[in-house]
Structure 1
C-alpha cells in the first residue's frame, strides 16, 4: 500500500512552469529507481486528458495506464514548490504528490488526502518549511461533527429504552458514522435528563466519525420515574468539533428550544431548530454510479467542471447520506462513492442547475469521462427481490435464495436468534475485584469448552474448540487485557475492548483465514462477556427447528444438537466459512448469505430450506412440505445403499473405471477415508500438518506424521501437496510481508522456492516415510514452467540421497497459465491434479470467499471446463493421468461432465465418496462423453447445470 513518508519528501524545488515541474518530478522518480525517464510521457498525457490539480495548492500527477510499462517499482514522492507553479491555467500548486503505480494504488493516497482537504490547508501547504509539517498536514484528521437531517428520525415505534437505543445506533450506523459494537457502548446509567421528555446519551467506542442522531418516539416512555420521548445520541471521538458541539448543547439546554423540540414532530423542522444541515426541498434525480473505481479524482473533476459553470447550487449524496456540493472535488471525494451505489442529486429551483439536472445524470451514466460498463438499474432492483424457488416447478408466494452451504432438505418452525447486547460499567471498583471477575469468567468458559471437546466425536469441532482454548490461554491476549484493567477499566470493558481491537486488526489484513480467526476471537469474546455480564444463553426449542441468525460463529455450530436443529439459515456468510464446514460435518442442511431480511421472520413460522441449491421458502404450502419429506427420504435411502456399497469400485455401466480418492488435512483422517471407500488419498494438505504446530515441524516430526498416512493406506497411493501457505492460509511462524492482494502474492510454490530449505526438508521427510510405497508429490500454484523445473530440481537433489522406487511427481493446475501451458508441462510431469476451487477463482476473477459473489464462481462455467478439457487432452497425449481435487469433484452435476472429459481420478471429502461412487456406477461413459462435449459449447454455468438435468 502506498504511504506518505517523510523520507520521500523533497523540499525547495523550483520550476518556472508545469512542464519543468513534471520533468523535475520524473527526475526524482528516476533517481529513486521507481521509473524510467520515459514515464514523463505518461505524466504529460495524463495532464492533457485532465489536469491533476486536487485543490488547496496540491496536485497529484500520475501516468496513464499505457505508461505503466515504464514503472520499475510502485512508489510515491512529494515535491514542495515554495514559489508555486501554475498548474491548470488558473490554480497554483505548492505541493506535487507524484505517483508511480502499476495499478490504481493512487486511490489509496486520495483516501489519505480527502479528509485533510476538507479543511482549508492551502496556506499551511504554501509556507511549510519542513518535511514533517507537510506530512502532518496531509495526514491530519479535521475536527468534525455530523449533524444533518438524515440523522433525525421521528414517529418511532418504541416500547422501551432499548428500542430507542437501537434506532439511535441504527441511524448512525446506516450513515457510516459508527460501526458494529457502538450500541453495546451506550450505557443507560450515564444518560442525562435535559428536560421536557428529552434525554441524551453518548459513547466514544466504535465511532468512525463524530455525529449526533435524534430519535423521537411515537409515544412517551418512562425512564427513572421521568418521561422520555426524545433521545439525543452522541457518537464522539478525538475528531469531535467542540465548538460545534457546544453550540448544539446550548440549544438543547435552552428551555425555550427544549419546548419547541418537544412539540415538533417533523424531522426537517427539528433539523432547522438545532442548526443541522437540512435537505432542501429541491428538484431531485438519482443515478447508480457505474465507474469501476468509484467516484475518484478524475470523474470527480469531470463532474465539477460540468457543475461549476451552472448558475445555482447543486448537491449530491450517496445512499441517503449527507449532501455535499457537486462543485467541490474534495467534497465529492469525501463521499467515497463506489460502483453500484446510488447518487442523489438536488438542484436549486429555477436555476440553470435545476434545468441541467437530467444532463448531469446522463453524464454520470456515461462515466464522467471514463469508459464504463453500464449498470442496469432494473437488475439491481431484481437482485434485491427474492428469486423464484422451484421444487419440481412448484412456486410459493414467499420466494428466497441464499448460498448453498450444506446439502439436504429441512423444514420446521423458525427459531430466530438476534444478537445479544451486553451492558456494563466502563470503570471498575478495584483492580483486584475486576481481575478476579475476569479470571472466574475465563475459567468458566474454558471448562465449558473442554466439555464440548469431550462430548463431540467430530474432528472439525474438536479443532475449532481446541483453537479457542489456545486463544483463551494466549499470554499476549491476557497481558493486554490486564493492561486495560490497570487503567481502571471494568473486567467486561477491559476484555471487550481488547478483543474487538484485536479482531479489527486481523480483519484489516484483508485475509480470509485471518477474518475467520477474527470471528473466532469475537466468538470467545462474547462467551466470556456473557459470563461477566450475567447474560444467559438463549435456550433452544425442545422440538426440531430451523435456526436463523445473522451469522453463526464456530462455537454456535459446534454446540448444535443434531436431533433438534433441522437446518440453518443465516443472513451473511459464504460456503467456505468455518460454520459451513462444520454444518457439513454434522450433516445439517444449511443456507447462508440469505440477506438481513430473514431476521424479520417471526419465530415459529414454518421455513423450508434446500441446502443443495440455496433456496428456501417461508410458510410453504403443504404440498411443498410433502415433496420435501419424500425427497429427503429418497436421499436418505440412496445414502444408506451407497454406504453399504462404498468399498466397491466406481465402474460405469459400460465398463469405464474412475478412481475415487479422499482429500484430507489431518493424518488421523486417513482411516475414516479408507473406511468410506477411498481408493487413495488424492490430496494431503500438508499445510494443515504445519498449522498444528506452534513452530515449523522438523524433518523427524514430519516423517512420523507422513508414515501414519502411508501405514494406514496399506499400499494405496498417497498424493501429497507440498506446503501451500500464503493467501488465505498464513503460518504464524512463517511471516509474509503484508500484501495488497495475498491471493496474487507469495502463495504455494512461489513461497517455498524462496524458502528452499523448507521445501528440501519436507521432501526429505516424505521420501523417507514412503519406504518405496506409492507416493505422488505435487507442487501447488505452478504458473510458469520455470517454477516447475526449479521445484523438481530440489526434489531430484533429495532423491539422490533418499531414492524412492514408487514415486510420481506432478503439479496442481490452479492457475489458468498452467492449464494453457499443459501441452508443454505434460511432457515433463507424471500427472496433473486440478484444484478447481482456485482455478475457478482465478479464471472468473471472483474471490471464492466473497459473501456476495462466491455463488457466481461456479466451476461448471464453460471457461473453466475448457481449461480442464485442454489439460486432460494434453496429459493423455503423453500418457499421463489427471485428477480433480477441488470441491467440484463431489458435485453430482459435475461428476458426469468431468468423467466425460476424461478425468481419471476424483478426490473429495471422505463423506462424499460413497454417493459419488454410487452415482458413477449408474452412469454411461459414452453418454457422459457426449454430454461433456455439449457442455463445452454452453454459454454459462447455469446452462451447463440445466444440460445435466
Structure 2
C-alpha cells in the first residue's frame, strides 16, 4: 500500500549538483517529464536512492524507473542522448521487477566511452508522478553517494472521490503491442478515437509512465515499441466497455501502408566535388532551377492580448484547416489514393488533440497571441518526439509541423500558395504533406530537403505522385543560390550542383526519351505481347480494387494476375459479409471487360492483423499463422469468401488463387470445400483453382501441386525472403533480397518444369515480373504470364516483343550456374540490352 510518509532520497551518484532548468535538454529542463535534479558524475556506478521496486528498464540500459514504498516513481536517466549508444557502455545490474534496497548498485557505466559519444554526462533523477508527490530540495552544491539529497512528500488531496461498491466504475487490463513500428501516429489516432467514444477517462501505462488516451501526442511521447506490454486503466460509468475497446485497438490496429517500421537514421554517402549526396525518397532524374520554400514567419508577440479574442481566433483557424483537410480526404477517397487518405485522416485527428489545445489555451490565458501559443505547443511536442530515439516517431513530428504551418497561415491570413515556374526543383529544410500536394499542382520537377527521411509521409506521397525526391542532403542545400540550375538524380541519391550544358541536355534528352518511349509503348499496349518467334506471353496487372482494375484495363492489361482481397478485410471492426464481398469482386470483373481475373484468397495473419480476428503473438510472424494457415484456424473466414467468389459472373473469368500453400493436402482440402459449395449453390462448374508458389517447399513440390491445381503463380517477394533467409523489410538487408539470385531462378525453373509435366501454365505476380531486365530470364525458364503494375503493362509488352523465346531459353539455363544476383544482372544486360 502507498503511504504519506516523507521519503528521503539518498544521492545515487557523487558529483556536482545541477538544477534541472540548467540541464542541456529541452524535454528535461522544461520539466515535461517531471521535477528533479541533475548530477555531473564522478563515479561509474548508479546506486538506488531508496528502497523500492524496479518498474521499468530501458532496452538500451541507460535509464530505469524505481517505485518507492510510498508510491513515488523515480526516473534515473544516465546522460543526454545516450539512447543512441544502444546499450554500449552500460552494464545493467538489476532486472525489471526486482526489489532493491537503498545503496544497491543498479547500473555500471563507462564514463570515458559515454563522454566521447554523447551530448552530456549529466545524470538525472526525476519524479514522474508529480500529481501525487512533490520534491523538497536540500540546499547543497555537491552530492555524495548514500548521503541525503532530496525529500519526497505526498501532495495534499484537493478532494476525496466518493467511495463506490460498483466495480464497473474502474477497470484495468494489459495487452502486447503487435503492430509494426509500435504506437506511432496512426494507431495512436485510432486509440484516441476509440477512447472518445466512451464517457470513462482512460489512460495508457508503460512502466512508470502514463498518458491519457485522448491525446495523440502524449501517447506518442511514451515511445511504445512493437511487442511492448502496456496497461490500460479506465474510470467511469462505462469503464469495462471502454477497456475492452481500447485493448482491441491497441492490440490490432494497423499502421500506414508503406514502409512503417522504425528504421535506422538515413545514411548518405560523403559529398563528392560538385554534388551533394542524400537519400532517395522517390526515384527519378530531372533538371531545373532551384527555388526555396520557406515556412510562415511569425510577427513579434507583443503580449497582453485579450484571451477571449485569441481563443476565438484560434478556433476559427482550426475550423478553417479542418475544412481544408476534409476536402483533401474527400478527393483522396474518390480517387482511391489510400496512402494519402490515411495520412490526412491522421492530420485531422491531430488537429483535435487535447494536449495541443490545452497547451495553446494555457499560453493564451497568460496573455500570449494565438499564433505564438499554437506554434510553441507544436514545437514542444516535436521536441519530445525527437528525443525518443525512434526515426519513425521523429519523422512523424513533420506531420505536427504541417499542422503548425497550416493553422498559422489561417491565423495570419496567408494563402500558403507560392508561384513557381513549371519544372522547378524545390528545396526546403523539410517539406510537409500539404506542401507536397500544393507543389504537385504547380508541376514542379522534383524535391530536395536538408532533413527528412525515406519513410516519412512526404516520401510516401512523392513516390505515389511519381515526383523525384531526395532527403537528408544536409544544411548545405539551404546555402545554394536561389535560381541555380541543378540536376536532381534521385536514382543515384545525389544533387549535381554545377551541371554543364552538355549534362543538362543529356538529362533533358533522357527524360524526353523516357516520355516518348512510354507514349509509344502506350500506343501498342492493347496489342498482344508476342516474342519474335511467335510465343504469346500474357501481361496482366496486380490490383487491389475495382479502381485499380479499371486503370489496368485502360492500360492494356490482358487480365488481372493478382487481386489482393485484403483491401476488404483490413482497417475495420467487423469482417465483410458475403454480399459485400460478392459486390466487390463483381465490380473488379466488370471493370476488366472480358478479361480473366485471378483473385487471391485472404492473406493476413502473422504481422498483418485484423481487429476482429484475434491471433496469438508470434516471435516470427512471417513464419507463423498467415495465408492458408489462417483459414485452417478460422475456416469460417475462407468459407464465406469462397461462397462469395462462386457467385460472381461469369464463372469462367474468375480464377481463385490460394496463398502460402506448402503441401498437397492443403490444396486437396480446399478443392473438396469448393466442390461441396458448388453443389450447395447449384453450380455446374467452378472457377479455376491455382496455387501461389511463395515458399521453397511449394516450389520443390510444384509437380505434385500441378497435378491437382489448374495453374501456378509465383510470388517472388516472399519466395525471395524465405529462400535467402532475409527479411525484405529489413533496412540493412532489403537491397540484398534480389529475386534474380541463382537460387531463386533454380526454384522458378523447377516450378515451371513440374507444371509442364501436367500441362499447367505458370505466372509470376511478384516484383520480379515488373523488372524488364528479368523478362527474358522468366520467359526462358518457362513463365507464360507476368503480372505487373498497371502503368508498366505497355513497357513489359514492349520488352517481350524485342525477345526471341528460343534464345531466352538457351541463355537462361546458363544463368542458373552463376555465382550471385549481381552476376545474373550483368549477364542479362549483356545478352539482352534494351533498345528503343
Q: TM bucket by the smaller chain?
A: 0.5 to 0.7
Match of 1:772 among 651, 656, 660: 651
Q: CA deviation at 1:888?
A: 2.1
CA distance in 2: counterparts of 1:506 and 1:795, whole angstroms: 51
Q: CA deviation at 1:791?
A: 4.5
1:339-488 to 2 correspondences below 5 Å? 385-386=269-270, 398=275, 400=277, 402-403=279-280, 405-406=282-283, 408-415=284-291, 436=312, 439-452=315-328, 459=335, 461=337, 463-468=338-343, 470-471=345-346, 478=352, 480=354, 484=358, 488=362
CA distance in 2: counterparts of 1:507 and 1:560, whole angstroms: 31
| Secondary structure, aligned partner of 1:768 | coil
- The answer to whether the Cα contact below 8 Å between 1:662 and 1:680 also exists between their aligned partners in 2 is yes
Q: Which piece of structure 1 moves more, 871-880 or 411-420?
A: 411-420
CA deviation string 1:619-674 (max 9, x = no partner): 22332222222222222221111111111000011111110011111212222211
- The answer to whether the Cα contact below 8 Å between 2:521 and 2:794 also exists between their aligned partners in 1 is yes
| Pair 1:650-2:529 in alignment | yes
Q: 1:144 to 1:698 in 2, by over 3 A?
A: closer
CA deviation string 1:735-788 (max 9, x = no partner): 555555544444333334322212211111111123423211112233455554
Q: CA deviation at 1:896?
A: 1.7
| Secondary structure, aligned partner of 2:708 | coil
| Secondary structure, aligned partner of 2:633 | coil
In structure 2, list runs of 5 or more residues that go unmatched: 1-44, 88-114, 144-266, 365-372, 830-836
Q: Which piece of structure 1 moves more, 861-870 or 536-545?
A: 536-545
Q: CA deviation at 1:403?
A: 4.4
| Pair 1:936-2:819 in alignment | no
Match of 2:719 among 839, 854, 871: 839
Q: CA deviation at 1:796?
A: 4.1
What corresponds to 2:806 in structure 1? 926
CA deviation string 1:259-313 (max 9, x = no partner): xxxxxxxxxxxxxxxxxxxxxxxxxxxxxxxxxxxxxxxxxxxxxxxxxxxxxxx
1:232-631 to 2 correspondences below 5 Å? 238=128, 385-386=269-270, 398=275, 400=277, 402-403=279-280, 405-406=282-283, 408-415=284-291, 436=312, 439-452=315-328, 459=335, 461=337, 463-468=338-343, 470-471=345-346, 478=352, 480=354, 484=358, 488=362, 492=374, 496=378, 522=400, 525-526=403-404, 530=408, 537=416, 539=418, 541-548=420-427, 554-561=433-440, 564-569=443-448, 582-588=461-467, 590-591=468-469, 596=474, 599=477, 602=480, 604=482, 605-610=484-489, 617-631=496-510
| Secondary structure, aligned partner of 2:797 | helix
Q: Which piece of structure 1 moves more, 658-667 or 624-633?
A: 624-633
Q: 1:568 to 1:834 in 2, by over 3 A?
A: farther
1:44-55 to 2 correspondences below 5 Å? none
- The answer to whether the Cα contact below 8 Å between 2:74 and 2:127 also exists between their aligned partners in 1 is no
What corresponds to 1:154 in structure 2? none
What corresponds to 2:633 in structure 1? 754
| Secondary structure, aligned partner of 1:917 | helix
Q: How many residue pairs are counted as aligned between the two chains?
A: 614
| Pair 1:882-2:762 in alignment | yes
What corresponds to 1:679 in structure 2? 558
CA deviation string 1:298-357 (max 9, x = no partner): xxxxxxxxxxxxxxxxxxxxxxxxxxxxxxxxxxxxxxxxxxxxxxxxxxxxxxxxxxxx
Q: 1:436 to 1:630 in 2, by over 3 A?
A: same
Q: 1:935 to 1:781 in 2, by over 3 A?
A: same
Q: CA deviation at 1:410?
A: 0.9
Q: CA deviation at 1:398?
A: 3.5
What corresponds to 2:76 in structure 1? 143
Q: Which piece of structure 1 moves more, 792-801 or 701-710?
A: 792-801
Q: Which piece of structure 1 moves more, 775-784 or 449-458?
A: 449-458
- The answer to whether the Cα contact below 8 Å between 2:57 and 2:64 also exists between their aligned partners in 1 is no
What corresponds to 2:594 in structure 1? 715
Q: 1:142 to 1:402 in 2, by over 3 A?
A: closer
CA deviation string 1:452-488 (max 9, x = no partner): 4677899354x445445644665x9847559957995
- The answer to whether the Cα contact below 8 Å between 1:499 and 1:525 also exists between their aligned partners in 2 is no
CA distance in 2: counterparts of 1:424 and 1:727, whole angstroms: 53
- The answer to whether the Cα contact below 8 Å between 2:276 and 2:477 also exists between their aligned partners in 1 is no
1:811-890 to 2 correspondences below 5 Å? 811-890=691-770
What corresponds to 1:897 in structure 2? 777
RMSD: 5.3
CA distance in 1: counterparts of 2:311 and 2:675, whole angstroms: 58
Q: 1:455 to 1:571 in 2, by over 3 A?
A: same
Q: CA deviation at 1:939?
A: 2.5
Q: CA deviation at 1:812?
A: 2.1
CA distance in 1: counterparts of 2:659 and 2:352, whole angstroms: 38
What corresponds to 1:910 in structure 2? 790
- The answer to whether the Cα contact below 8 Å between 2:282 and 2:469 also exists between their aligned partners in 1 is yes
| Secondary structure, aligned partner of 2:603 | coil
Q: CA deviation at 1:685?
A: 1.3
- The answer to whether the Cα contact below 8 Å between 1:690 and 1:696 also exists between their aligned partners in 2 is yes
CA distance in 1: counterparts of 2:386 and 2:291, whole angstroms: 30
CA deviation string 1:924-947 (max 9, x = no partner): 212222342333233333322222
| Pair 1:664-2:549 in alignment | no
- The answer to whether the Cα contact below 8 Å between 1:573 and 1:851 also exists between their aligned partners in 2 is no
CA deviation string 1:586-621 (max 9, x = no partner): 343x25566657756625444323455656533223
Q: 1:57 to 1:731 in 2, by over 3 A?
A: same
Q: 1:519 to 1:718 in 2, by over 3 A?
A: farther
TM-score (norm 1): 0.54
CA distance in 1: counterparts of 2:673 and 2:401, whole angstroms: 43
CA distance in 1: counterparts of 2:395 and 2:669, whole angstroms: 34
Q: 1:718 to 1:780 in 2, by over 3 A?
A: same
CA distance in 1: counterparts of 2:751 and 2:429, whole angstroms: 41
CA deviation string 1:40-79 (max 9, x = no partner): xxxxxxxxxxxxxxx9999xxxxxxxxxxxxxxxxxxxxx
Q: CA deviation at 1:684?
A: 1.0
CA deviation string 1:111-132 (max 9, x = no partner): 559457899xxxxxxxxxxxx9
Q: 1:502 to 1:516 in 2, by over 3 A?
A: closer
CA deviation string 1:376-401 (max 9, x = no partner): xxxxxxx864599xxxxxxx854857
CA distance in 1: counterparts of 2:353 and 2:381, whole angstroms: 12
Q: 1:471 to 1:685 in 2, by over 3 A?
A: same
CA distance in 2: counterparts of 1:683 and 1:516, whole angstroms: 36
- The answer to whether the Cα contact below 8 Å between 1:430 and 1:488 also exists between their aligned partners in 2 is no
| Secondary structure, aligned partner of 1:725 | coil
In structure 1, list runs of 5 or more residues that go unmatched: 1-54, 59-94, 98-107, 120-131, 148-170, 178-208, 215-231, 251-382, 389-395
CA distance in 1: counterparts of 2:506 and 2:811, whole angstroms: 29
| Secondary structure, aligned partner of 1:143 | strand
| Secondary structure, aligned partner of 1:782 | coil
CA distance in 1: counterparts of 2:579 and 2:388, whole angstroms: 33
TM-score (norm 2): 0.61
What corresponds to 2:185 in structure 1? none
- The answer to whether the Cα contact below 8 Å between 2:605 and 2:626 also exists between their aligned partners in 1 is yes
| Secondary structure, aligned partner of 2:787 | strand
- The answer to whether the Cα contact below 8 Å between 1:660 and 1:917 also exists between their aligned partners in 2 is yes
